[in-house]
Structure 1
Amino acid sequence: MSVPLVLVLGVGAVALVAAQGPTSLQRTVVVALINLVLVIGLYVFVGNSGVYSFGHLGFAAIGAYAAGVLVMPAARKAQLLADAPEPIRTLTVAPTVAVLAGGLLAAVVAVVLAVPLSRIDGLSAGLATVSLLISVSVVAANWDSITRGRKGLSAIPSSTTLPTALAWAAVAIVAAWCYQRSSFGKRLRASKDDPVAAASAGISVPLQRGIAFVISAFFTGVGGALFALFLGSVTPDVFYLNYTFLILTMLVIGGADSLTGAVLGATVVSVLSEILRRAEAGDVLGLIQVDPRPGMQNVVLGLLLVVMLLRRPSGITGGREIRLPWAHRRHGVGVASPPADVTSGDAAGAARP
C-alpha cells in the first residue's frame, strides 16, 4: 500500500498548501481534485483493459444530474421540476448521499451497457463509447421534466469544499489501487496485450472488462456529482467533448498504464490549464500582461498531447508506479521497476484458472 499512501499524501500536501491561499486558488484546487477523481475513474477501465473510452463523461453527466436533483430543496423543485414524478419532487437528501447515489446510478447504467461494450475493442469500442456520450447529452437536452433540457438545472446547493474533494480523491486513489492489485485487476491486465491468449488460459475477458467498466463508471459518476455540487448548476454541454478531451489528455500525458501516471497527469495538466486559462485572458501568473488569446488552452494542450503521443506514448511515468526507498531495498533494486501486476510473472499467475 506504499503507492496509494504516497499519492494521497502528495495530493493532500498540495491541497493543504493551497488552502492557505486566496479563495480563487482554493476553488482552482477543488476543480483539480474533481478532475483527479474523473481521471482515476477513467483509468480504472482504460489503464487496466487497454481499451480507450471516449464516452465516460456520459457517466459524469448522469451522476451530476442525479446528485443535483436529490440535493435540491423540495420547494425549489416544485418550481423548477413541476412535471417530475412525485417522489423526485419531494425527496431531498444530504450531499454525501446524493454523491453516492449519483455514482451508483452511473454504475447501474454501466451494468446494462457493459454487456455489449465489453465484447468489443479497438476502433469499434471507441466509436461505441462516443455514441454513449452523445446519447446521454441528447437525453439530458430533451428530458425537460427531470433535467430542464437545454436550460439545465440551477439553484443546486453548493457543498463540494476542499476537504470534501480531497476525501473523495483519496478514496478514488485507494480504491483504484486495491482493484488493480486484486485478482480481478490482474486478470484484466493479463488480457490487455493478448485477449485471445488470456481467454485460452481461462480468463473471461468480457466479464473482467465489465467489472472494470462498472467500477470506473461509479467513480466517474461521483466526479460528475461533485462537480455539479461545486458549480451549483449543470447543463448538457458541461460534460461533453471539451471536457472529455481534457480528461483524456490528463490520462495520456501522465501515463495510462499506471495509477501514478493518472494522478501525475491530472496534477500537471490541471496546473498547466489554469496558467493557460489566465493567459487567454491576458494575465500570465499575475506578472505579465499580454494580449488576450482565446482558444490558447485547447491549442497548447492539443500540441502537447500530440508531442507526447509521438515522443513518449507511455506518458511521463512510462507505465511505472512510484517507488519508495525502502521498497527499492526490499526488492533489491535501486531504480523504479514496472508495476508488479503487469510483469509476465504476475500475468501468468493471474491467468491460471
Structure 2
Amino acid sequence: MNRLRGLGVPVALFLGVVVVALLSTTGPAAVERLAVTGLVNLVLVIGLYVFVGNSGVWSFGHMSFALVGGYVAGLLALAARLKDQLLPDAPELVRELTAPPFVAVLVGGLVAALVAAVVAVPLSRIGGLAAGLATVSLLIALSVVAAQWQSVTRGQKGLSSIPTSTTMWVALAWVLVALLSAWGYQRSSFGVRLRASKSDEVAASAAGISVSVQRGVAFVLSGFLTGIGGALFALQLGSINPDVFYLDATFLIITMLVLGGAASLTGAVTGSIVVSVLAEVLRRTEGGSLFGLDVPARPGLADVVLGVVLVMMLLRAPSGITGGRELGTPRRRNHARATVTGTGLEPISVAGAPSSPVPHREDRP
C-alpha cells in the first residue's frame, strides 16, 4: 500500500503533462507537433535528472546517449531495401536487421545504456568539474564518430527517410515510463544511497556505501532513458544527423532541468514545460510574429533570452522554480540553497527515504 501511495507524485505529474498535451491538440497541427517535441524533450530531461538529481554530479555530455539511441533506432526502423540504397557499404547485419518502432526505440535505449555502462567505469570515480569535462569529451567524441562513419551513419548527411512513428500518444506512453522509472529509482535503496553521498561523500563511504557503484547504476539508467528520448526524436523527425544532439540540444535540456529544479523530479517536469512554452514564444518572436501580431524580427532572440533567464535563476533562485521539492512536499524553514557547481545540489527528503546524509542501518549495502 505504501508503494501504491508513493506513486502519487509521478501519476500527478503525468496527468498534468497529459492536460497540457491535450490542450495543444485544440490548436493547429503545427502546435501539436511542437507538443510532441516537448514530450520527447521531457524524456531527455528526466533521463538527465536521474543521474544529476540523485548524484549531484553534473553531466554536460548526456546528449551523446541520445545520439546513440537516435542512430540505432533509425537504422532499425529503415527498411532493408532503403538501407541497401543509402548504406551500400554498411555491414550486412546493419543492412538486413530491421525492427518495428517500439522495438527500435527500446533497442536504441539499451545500446545507449551499454555505452553508458562502459563510460561509467572511469566516470563514476570522479566528480565535480572533472566529471563534467569528461562527459563533454564523450559528447565530442561520439559526434565525431557519427560524422566520420560514412558507411553506417552517412556522415554529415545523416540518415533520412526514417519512417515516422512518434505520435502524441506514443510520446506520452514513454513519458509515463520515464516518470515511473525515475521515481522508482530514487525511492529504491540504490537511489537512497546515492542521494546520501550527495551531501557528504566521505560520510557515505564511511557508512559502507560504494559511491562509485551507486553513481554507475544511476548513470546507466540515465543513459537508457536519454537513449529512448533520442530514438523517439529520430522516429518523429524522420531523419538524424550528428548535429541534432550537440551543443544547442545540450544547452536546452540543461536549462530545462536547472530552471525547474535539478534536485527533484517535479522540477524536471516543471522546467521542461516552462522552457518549452517560453522557447516557442521566443522563436515566433524571432520570426516577426507574437500572438498573431506583427513584431520586428529578432534572430537569435530565443538563445539570448534563455541564457539571461538561466543566469538570473542561478543568481536569485539556484534551487529552481520548485525549490528542489517534490509535488506536495511542504517548504522547510531551514531550506538550504542549492548550487550547480561540483556536487552542491540540495538533497531531498523523499517518501520512504532518510533525510539525513547517512542512510539508516537497514538501507546500508
TM-score, normalised relative to structure 1: 0.94
Corresponding residue of 2:15: 9
**Secondary structure in 1 matching 2:199:** coil
How much does 1:11 deviate?
0.6
Q: Does 1:200 align with 2:211?
A: no
Structure 1, unaligned stretches of length 5 or more?
326-336
1:339 correspondence with 2:358: no
The CA deviation string for residues 124-155 of structure 1, in whole angstroms up to 9 with x for no partner, is 00100000000010000000011000111111
* Alignment partner, residue 123 of structure 2: 117
Work out the CA distance in 2 between the residues paired with 1:309 and 1:324: 22
SS at match of 2:10: helix
Letter in 1 for 2:99: V
Contact 2:187-2:350 at 8 Å conserved across structures: no
Deviation at 1:92, TM superposition (A): 1.4
Residue in structure 2 matching 1:292, options 294, 297, 305: 297
- Which residue identity is paired with 2:356? S
Counterpart of 1:71 (choices 63, 74, 77) is 77
- Displacement of 1:16: 1.7
**Per-residue deviation, 1:346:** 7.8
Shift of 1:324: 8.2
Q: 1:125 to 1:342 in 2, by over 3 A?
A: farther
Alignment map for 1:126-141 (pairs within 5 Å): 126-141=132-147
Matching of residue 304 in structure 1 with residue 309 in structure 2: yes
1:162 and 2:174 correspond: no
Following the alignment from structure 1 to structure 2, what is the Cα–Cα distance between the partners of residues 137 and 352? 39
Partner of residue 103, structure 1: 109
Q: In structure 2, how many angstroms separate the alpha carbons of the residues matched to 1:187 and 1:338?
A: 12
Q: Report the Cα offset of residue 351 of structure 1.
A: 5.5
Percent sequence identity is 64
1:339 Cα deviation from its structure 2 partner: 3.3
Q: Is the 8 A contact 1:190 1:351 kept in 2?
A: no
Change beyond 3 A, Cα 1:37–1:349: farther
* Amino acid paired to 2:84: A
1:53 maps to 59
Residue of 188, 191, 215 corresponding to 1:185: 191
Counterparts of 2:28 and 2:144, CA distance in 1: 38
Equivalent pair of 1:106/1:218 in contact (CA under 8 Å): yes
Contact 2:189-2:363 within 8 A present in 1 as well: no
Greater helix percent: which structure? Answer: 1
One-letter code aligned to 2:142: V
SS in 2 for 1:176: helix
Verify the 8 A CA contact 2:113 2:221 in the aligned structure 1: yes
State how far apart, in whole Å, the 2-side matches of 1:209 and 1:157 are. Answer: 36
Q: Matched residue pairs, number?
A: 341
Counterpart-to-counterpart distance in 1, 2:360 and 2:315? 31
**Amino acid in structure 1 at the alignment position of 2:294:** Q
